[in-house]
Structure 1
Amino acid sequence: MSRFTTLHFVWPLMLLAAGGLKAQVIKTAPSYRPGQQYELRLVISTEDARDNPPKKTYESPVTVRVVRKSTAGTDLDWVAGKSTGRGAAERADPILQMAEKIFEDLHLMVHLDAAGKYQGIRNEEDLQTKIQEFVLLMIPQTTAKIQDAAERRQAADAMGKILTPQALLSAARKEIDLYFGLSGLPLEAGKPMRIKSSALNPFGERGTLEGEMEITPLEVDSAKGEARVEFRQEFDPKAAGRNAPGTTFASGSDSAAPTVNYSLTDSGEYLLDLATGRVKQVRHVRTIRENGDAVRVETTEIRVQ
C-alpha cells in the first residue's frame, strides 16, 4: 500500500456557524517546547472489491520535531520514515517505488500561527524543486532496463506525467492536513460546528468536490484529560460534473446501459489531550459507494507512539 495511491483529504477551509450559549472550551491550540520531538504511527488500510488482493495495509513511522517557536507561531519538521506492508504487486510497480523513495526522509515544515491554527506547509516551493530534481534523476535510472528505445521513452513520459511535484507533494501532505485539522479551532463541549470543506475529486476527474463538515465534541473526560471530537463530511453532488458523488451516468457509449450512482462520505474521530491541545489519535474513514453499496473503504489512523 502506498500513500501515493490513497485518496486525498483536504481539510476544512472556513467557519460557517458558531455562537450560542457559553460552554466548556476545548483547547485545540497545541503547545510545544523548542526542540521537543515525538513519534507518530501512520496506518492506512483499504478494502476495495475491485482490487487484488481486496484488503491492503500500509504503515509508516513519522517523526515530528519543533524547529522554532516564537510570537509568530510554531514551525514543526514532519518526516515520514520507511514504509511497510506493501504487497508484491506494489513493490514491483516502478512508479510506486519512485514515489516511496521520494517520500522517505522528505522534510515538510508545518506552520502553526500564534493562535495554534494550521497554516499549511512553509517550504512547499523548496520541496517542489527538490522533488523535481529527484524525479529527473530517478526516471532514467528506472527506465534504463527497458531495451526498446520507443518503449523506454513511452514509460519515461508516463512517469513524468504522473510523478509531478504538485501531485507528489499533495500526497505527502495529506496526513498532515488531517492530523492538524482541528488545530486552533474554537471548539466547545457539546456544541457542533459546521464548516466549509473540500476534497480532491477521487472519481478520475480533476478539481475538488465542495461540501460541508460537521465537527461535534462528543465527550470531555477531565479525569483522563482527554476530549473526543467526531467529524462527518458531506459533499455537493453538483460540484464536479457527471462523475461527482450523487450523480448518475451511463457506463460506456451505449445510452441504454445501466447508470451508476456514486457517493462519497468522510467520517472519523479525534482524541485530544486537554493539557497540551495536541492530537493523541485521529481516525478518518472514507467510503465510496456505487448504487448504495460500499465498493471502497479507506481508513487512515495517526496515533502518538
Structure 2
Amino acid sequence: MTDFLQLTLAGLSQGSVYALLAVGLIAVYTVRHVINIAQGDYAMLAGLGAIWMTAAGMPLMAAILIAILSVALVSVAVDRLILARVKNLTTLVSIILTLGVSTLLQSIMLLLWGPEAEGLPAFPGQNFSIGGVSIRSQDLWMLGALVVVGGAILLFYEKTRWGKALRACAEQPDAARIVGISPVMAAVIAFAIAGVAGAVAGVVSSPVALSIWSGGLLLGLKGFVAAVLGGLSSFRAAIVGALLLGMLEAYVSAYIASGLRDAVAFFILILVLIIRPSGLLIRSVPVRV
C-alpha cells in the first residue's frame, strides 16, 4: 500500500506539469483555434534559461521570474511574427507552423546550452514522510504551481469579463470588434498566458525531471493529450485528465514495464479519439459572454 501511495504522489506531481501545459494549450485554442506544438519547448526554454542565469550567479527566484517573463514574450512573438501573418490560419496549418517553431527552439537551445540534461537547484523546503510515504518538497512545489497558476488561469477565463471576452473573439471575431474587443490584444494575452503556464511547468519540474533541449516535444504532446481529454475547451477536465495521466504513467512504469511509460499517453489519446472525441466532458456547457 505504501508503494502504491508513493507512486500516486509521484504521478500527481508529474501530472501537474502536464496539466499546466494543457492549460496553456487550451488558453490559446479557445481564443485562436491554434494548437501550439511548441508548448512543451517553452518549458525546456524556461528551465534551461533559469539554469544558465543561476550558474551566472543570479538568485534562484530572480532567475525563475526572468525566465518566465522571457518565455511569455517568446510565446507572444511566435504569434505576432509567425502565426498572425498567415491568412486563413487553420488548425492544421497551426500544427505545421508550430512544429517548425518547436524545431527552431530546440536548435537554439542545443546551440546555446549543449546536449546535456541539467536541473535547477531544489526549491526551498524540507522533505518529510507521512505513514511511510516520502514527500519531497519539490513535489509540493509542482502541485502548488498547478493550484496557483492553473487555478488563476481557469478563474480568469471562466469568471472574469476579460476572460469571457477572449473566448468571444474566437467564436465571433467580427462581433467582438463591433463591441470593442480587439482580437489582436486577445491573442497577445492568450499567448502570454500560454507562455507563462509552459514556463512555470518547466521551472518547477527542472529540479526533478531535469531540462534538456530535446525534451519539449514529448512533454508538449503529453500536455496535448491532457488537453484533448478536456475536449480542448474545458480547463477542469484537462487538469483532471493530466493528473490521471501522470498516475497511470507511474503505475505502468512500476508494475508493468518502465519502457511503456511514454506509450501510455498515446494509447489514451487513441482510445479517446475513437470512443469519446469530446473528451472527459459529461456535457457541453456554453460560455456566456
TM-score normalized by the length of structure 2: 0.29
Higher strand residue share: 1
Could you say which structure has the larger radius of gyration?
1
